[in-house]
Amino acid sequence: MLKNIDLTREVPKADYKELKGEADLKLAALQRQCKALGIPVIVVFEGWSAAGKGTLINEMILPLDPRGFSVYSTRNPTEEDMFYPFLWRFWKRTPIRGRMAIFDRSWNRRTVTDRVAGLIKGDRLRQAFDDIRSFERQLTDEGVVIVKCFLHISKSEQKRRFDALQSSPATAWRVTKEDLRQHDQYREYLAATEDMLTETDADYAPWTIVEAHDRRFATLKIFNTVIDALERKVASVERKSEAPALPSPEPASASALFSTTALDRVDLSISLTPEEYAARLKKAQAALRELEHEIYLRRIPVVIAYEGWDAAGKGGNIRRLTQNLDPRGYEVVPVAAPNDIEKTHHYLWRFWAQMPKDGHITIFDRSWYGRVLVERVEGFCTEAQWRRAYREINGMEQHLAHYGAVVLKFWLHIDPDEQLRRFREREGMIHKQWKMTDEDWRNREKIDQYREAVEEMLHRTSTPYAPWTIVESNCKRYARVKVLETVCKAIRKRIG
């Protein structure tokens, strides 16, 4: 979940004041509503040392009624804590109904800090994840709202902040040995954190990654995340206590401002000359042909899913991927709307039926991600269903990975201008007119909603065992080579 996070995001000072003022009022009002409705709230702050947890917690509590919350700072367990299971000290601090508990670091320390320090691994690490999931689920099942924020900064930003603190005797003491150790082992911490985020991200207690280079942006994103979670909970509690059932509140459009923006940073100007293309394509295709034999011998299945904007070039890209392959070793599965039989099954069933067997490659042209894209945007499934789907899809891909499969997902990205150009071009060419439907134009009108869905999908389902690759596709040549080379690299890595 930390891949493709744009740490340069910021909010201008001019906008900040107004937005913050509004957020303050909203948060204070929601605190009162939660108190009245007896909703307990837990807000967890995790993140790098010097990411600004202390400052941001201070910002958050300022508008709150001080009688309604507690802040708990989780450092090394005390001697007493060490006498109990690691969740004990957090159970003791779970909030009563209507109260808010804010944790500066939390139970996730166990699976990150302790893991990097070599204190926990293997079976015990998996037990800790089980214990954490069970704990969070026990709380949310009984009505607790859990908001989890991870404050993210880069290694160089962390260095800059440590240097600034150390340059003055007044603040130098704030940089501890543990902080410096974390800095030296940034890579190890990053890998452990990524694992922790993946293992404990759930519809009932989702993670929000907060881009924390700019304090104003981070503040607003945290406010927005807490407000969004509380608004949804308040609405659901009120709906249950009132009859008749009310429809969901209007979608939280404001939250789109703070959703992740992996797509914004994609450099679509990137391209290949025809000569470069010809050379690299040939080389990668030959390599993949050899790897195809290798995975057959080693009985490794490979699952490749293509998603992307209409007219992003999926078809042509897939053709280049398979052009040189032995046709007995792969299959391309085009995915359209489910047919009548498929509709009567679980939505993942039809994909299971098409998974590759050992030693084979299956390429899905569109995939199970339709659940969180078209079905979400068009309202073909309920909000609860698509929110749950991230966990379900991760579960399915993890099962494949447990088995030893290589699982790769490509998002073919183009900008709206390029899309329009291609639509027009298609309409102008008789042999391509069949490719254009009214639906393509309709989808284009909903581009903002699709973009929000794509961002959340890339964010919640990019896992160590099944990563997303965003493919810059304004230049089709570049896109084709990138996919081919990425597939080769992943297979080589799996073979070891």
Which residues lie near a copy of itself (CB under 8 A)? 38, 40, 80, 82-88, 91-92, 94, 96-98, 122-124, 126-128, 130-131, 134-135, 137-139, 141-142, 144, 243-245, 299, 301, 341, 344-349, 352-353, 355, 357-359, 385, 388, 392, 395-396, 398-400, 402-403, 405
- Cα–Cα dist 301/320, whole Å: 20
Q: How far is the CB of 80 from a copy of itself (least distance, A)?
A: 7
Q: Which is nearer to a copy of itself, 125 or 481 (CB)?
A: 125
Q: Which is nearer to a copy of itself, 135 or 223 (CB)?
A: 135
Q: How far is the CB of 453 from a copy of itself (least distance, A)?
A: 20
Q: Which is nearer to a copy of itself, 320 or 360 (CB)?
A: 360
Q: How far is the CB of 144 from a copy of itself (least distance, A)?
A: 7
C-alpha distances in angstroms, 441 versus 318, 379, 452, 478?
24, 18, 18, 26
Q: How far is the CB of 433 from a copy of itself (least distance, A)?
A: 37
- Cα–Cα dist 16/266, whole Å: 26
Q: Which is nearer to a copy of itself, 205 or 400 (CB)?
A: 400
CB 19: neighbour CB atoms within 10 A? 17
Q: How far is the CB of 94 from a copy of itself (least distance, A)?
A: 6
C-alpha distances in angstroms, 440 versus 230, 426, 436?
36, 12, 7
Q: How far is the CB of 60 from a copy of itself (least distance, A)?
A: 23
Give which of 136, 109, 121, 123 is closest to 200, Cα–Cα.
Answer: 136
Assess contact for 459 and 369: CB atoms under 8 A: no
Exposed/middle/buried for residue 161 (C-beta within 10 Å: 0-12, 13-18, 19+) = buried
Q: How far is the CB of 466 from a copy of itself (least distance, A)?
A: 13
Q: Which is nearer to a copy of itself, 73 or 354 (CB)?
A: 354
Q: Which is nearer to a copy of itself, 301 or 313 (CB)?
A: 301
Residue that is written with structure tokens 């009985």 in the block = 299
Tokens standing for residue 241: 């206590």
Torsion of CA 396, 397, 400, 406, to 10 degrees: 160
Q: How far is the CB of 410 from a copy of itself (least distance, A)?
A: 22
Q: Which is nearer to a copy of itself, 54 or 98 (CB)?
A: 98
Beta bridge partners of 364: 305, 333
DSSP assignment of 93-129 = TPPPTT-EEEEES-TTHHHHHHHHTTS--HHHHHHHH
Q: Which is nearer to a copy of itself, 392 or 452 (CB)?
A: 392
Q: Which is nearer to a copy of itself, 269 or 344 (CB)?
A: 344
Assess contact for 72 and 92: CB atoms under 8 A: no
Helix axes 215-241, 13-37, angle to 10 degrees: 30
Q: How far is the CB of 355 from a copy of itself (least distance, A)?
A: 6
DSSP assignment of 328-380 = GGEEEEE--S--HHHHTS-TTHHHHTTPPPTT-EEEEES-GGGGGTHHHHTTS
